[in-house]
Structure 1
Amino acid sequence: MSDEVVVVTGIGGMGKVIARRQGIGKTLLIADYNEEALQTVVDELKADGHNVIGQRVDVSSRDSVAGLAESAAALGRVTQVAHTAGLSPAQAPTQAILAVDLVGVALVLEEFGKVVASGGAGVVIASMAGHMPLELTAEQEQELATTPAEDLLVLPYVQSIEYPAVAYQFSKRANHIRVRAVARRWGVRGARINSISPGVVSTKMGHQELASETGAITKAMIDGSASGRIGTSDDIAAASAFLLGPESSYVTGTDLLVDGGVVAAARSGQLFS
Structure 2
Amino acid sequence: MTGSVLVVIGVGGMGEAIARRLGSGRPTLIADHNAERVEGLREQLRHSGYDVHAQRVDVACRDSLRALAATAGGLGDITSVVHTAGVSPAQAPAHRIIEVDLIGTALSLEVFGSVIAPGGAGVYIASVAGHILGAAVDEASAAVLAGGTPDELADAALFDMPDVPDDLARALTYGYCKRGNQLRVQSAAPLWGDRGARVNSVSPGVVATEMGWEEFNADFAHDAYEAMISDSAAGRFGTAEDVAAATEFLLDNTKSSFITGTDLLVDGGVVAGLRSGRVGMAGA
Under TM normalisation by the shorter chain, which class is it?
Answer: over 0.9
Q: Secondary structure at 2:277's aligned position in 1?
A: coil
CA contact 1:228–1:260 (8 Å) conserved in 2: yes
The answer to whether structure 1 residue 157 and structure 2 residue 163 are counterparts is no
The answer to whether structure 1 residue 238 and structure 2 residue 245 are counterparts is yes
Q: Deviations over 1:192-219 (max 9, x none)?
A: 0000000000100011111110212201
Q: Secondary structure at 2:118's aligned position in 1?
A: strand
Contiguous gaps of at least 5 residues in structure 1: none
Deviation at 1:187, TM superposition (A): 0.3
Alignment of structure 1 residues 33-182 onto 2, 5 Å: 33-133=33-133, 134-160=135-161, 163-182=169-188
Q: Quote the sequence identity (%).
A: 49
Deviation at 1:150, TM superposition (A): 4.1
Q: What's the RMSD between the two structures over aligned residues?
A: 1.3
CA–CA separation in structure 1 for the residues paired with 2:20 and 2:262: 25
CA–CA separation in structure 2 for the residues paired with 1:12 and 1:255: 21
CA contact 1:123–1:196 (8 Å) conserved in 2: yes
Query: Across the two proteins, how many residue pairs are aligned to each other?
Result: 273
CA–CA separation in structure 2 for the residues paired with 1:71 and 1:160: 40
- 1:198 is aligned with what amino acid? P
CA–CA separation in structure 2 for the residues paired with 1:72 and 1:113: 13
- 1:148 is aligned with what amino acid? T
Q: TM-score, normalised by structure 2?
A: 0.93
> In the alignment, which residue of structure 2 is the partner of 1:209?
215
CA contact 1:117–1:189 (8 Å) conserved in 2: yes
Deviation at 1:159, TM superposition (A): 4.1
- 1:259 is aligned with what amino acid? D
CA–CA separation in structure 2 for the residues paired with 1:114 and 1:159: 32
Instruction: Give the one of 249, 252, 263 matched to 2:260.
Output: 252
The answer to whether structure 1 residue 268 and structure 2 residue 276 are counterparts is yes
The answer to whether structure 1 residue 4 and structure 2 residue 4 are counterparts is yes
CA contact 1:123–1:240 (8 Å) conserved in 2: yes
